[in-house]
Homo-oligomer: A and B are copies of this chain.
Amino acid sequence: MLPVPQISAFNPPRRILMGPGPSDVYPDVLAAQARPTIGHLDPLFVNMMDELKQLIQYAFQTKNEMTLAVSAPGSAGMETCFVNLVEPGEKVIVCRNGVFGERMRQNVERVGGVAVVVDNEWGEPVCPQKVAQALTDNPDAKFLAFVHAETSTGALSDAKALCALAQSHDCLTIVDAVTSLGGVELRVDDWGIDAIYSGSQKCLSCVPGLSPVSFSDKAVEKLKNRQTPVQSWFLDQTLVMGYWGNANGGKRSYHHTAPVNALYALHESLRLLANEGLENAWARHKNMHLLLREGLTKLGLTFVVDEASRLPQLNAVYIPQGADDAAIRSQLLQQYNLEIGAGLGALAGKAWRIGLMGFGARRENVALCLKALEDVLS
């Protein structure tokens, strides 16, 4: 036998999470998650899942039947959309203005699709004119894929306008709403989004590890008419829906063991969102952002993203000249228990990302962040 590792229980400190996610989790969500595990086919659990579906529908503002939580993080939600909808050889127009657009491109290639990339600079929103041109130049494109709220830069793109363009060219839309859901306006049905995924750990302030996903009837039709099998067994939604209850006349069939306790947490976080009301949550994120912006500006910090397309929940600011990126983030963490995010990709070492997400979008967090930054930058 190998030696027994001598390891103590892990007791994490209480951090204040103001990075790009995970965000501060609601205390009620942590408590919900710790409730007793029950079976994934228990009638009470199945009923909880029905409620969860309604709550996800509300958060996405959709009546889509195929609405559920993928049992894995947001990047698996992304893969769920591409692997189920895009068949080998099909053309996808992919908008890239940060890390996650590039990840979409990689997903297209891994499923055997053909990616046509529309590039914008990091920090810019996706340009609808460029997209219109790409759609015109590629009449055989089947999909338009873009990130609603780029977590790597804090740029918000005009999802409504982009979806309208896609529809006028008869393309299905695949939309990344990982950072947007619950934080800014998002209307899946009104805007005609066909496939959307998000993450539990951003503006929902749930624990990380789940990805709410929704497919429109048109997307479901596309999935049903595939000529080739879905290459992933785990993410194959025709199988998963046997468990989430939209196949076999509502009878649940086993696919994989659901992450029971994590789903309790998601149920509670979405319930809190519904109780607050989506529009109130959007307004709260906006108001807290304005407070933070005022303070950051006073500190002389400047934003990466222009005001018109700046996300309230993800504030990317340039690191001031002479400031030591890693040392300052470490100081905030060690001395204030405050986490802010490093720059990612093209912004690594150049920007910080300050999140105001979900439960984190509170006045006390804004105050702490501003005072701590003032201290460590002075």
Which stretch (A73-81, A127-135, A213-221) binds chain B?
A73-81
A304 at the interface (CB under 8 A from B): no
The answer to the question of A122 belonging to the interface, with a C-beta cut-off of 8 Å to chain B, is no
Q: Tell me, yes or no, whether A51 is within 8 Å of chain B by CB.
A: yes
Q: Write out, one digit per residue, whether chain A residues 230-266 have a CB within 8 A of any chain B CB (1) or not (0).
A: 1111100000000000000000001111111110110
Partner of A103, one of B15, B37, B233: B233
Closest B residue to A345 by beta carbon equals B254
State how many angstroms separate the Cβ of A111 from the closest Cβ of chain B. Answer: 7
Q: A10-B51, A106-B233, A233-B75 are in contact. Are A4 and B36 (CB under 8 A)?
A: no
Docked-complex contact A5 and B55, CB < 8 angstroms: yes
Interface residues in A1-53 by Cβ distance below 8 A to B read 1-2, 4-5, 7, 9-15, 17, 19, 21-22, 24-25, 28, 30-45, 48, 51
- List the B side residues contacting A25 at CB < 8 Å: 36-37, 261
CB under 8 Å from chain B, chain A span 62-96: 62-63, 71-76, 78-79, 83
B36 in contact with A34 (CB, 8 Å): no
Main secondary structure of the interface of A (DSSP, over half): loop
Q: Which of B7, B71, B274 makes the CB contact (< 8 A) with A7?
A: B274
Instruction: State the CA gap A38–B13 with chains docked (Å).
Output: 8
Q: What chain B residues lie within 8 Å of A57 (beta carbons)? A: 2, 5
Is B2 a contact of A63 with CB atoms below 8 Å? yes
Given contacts A1-B61, A57-B2, A208-B257, contact A72 B234 (CB under 8 A): yes
Judge if A150 is at the interface, Cβ distance under 8 Å.
no
A116 on the B face (CB < 8 A): no
Question: Across the interface, do B259 and A21 meet the contact criterion of CB distance under 8 Å?
Answer: no
Candidates B1, B10, B75, B230; contact of A48 at CB < 8 Å: B10
Tell me which residues across on chain B come within 8 A of A264, comparing CB atoms: 10, 12
Instruction: Determine how close the nearest CB of chain B comes to the CB of A7; give it in whole angstroms.
Output: 5
Question: Which of A14, A45, A207 has the most chain B CB atoms inside 10 A of its CB?
Answer: A207
Task: List 4 A-B pairs, minimum CB-CB distance, nearest first.
Answer: A209-B259, A34-B34, A72-B72, A75-B256
Known: A10-B48, A106-B233. 20 other contacts (CB 8 A): A2-B58, A2-B63, A4-B275, A5-B274, A7-B267, A9-B271, A12-B264, A30-B35, A30-B37, A42-B333, A72-B234, A73-B259, A79-B234, A103-B233, A111-B231, A207-B259, A208-B259, A231-B232, A232-B232, A261-B265
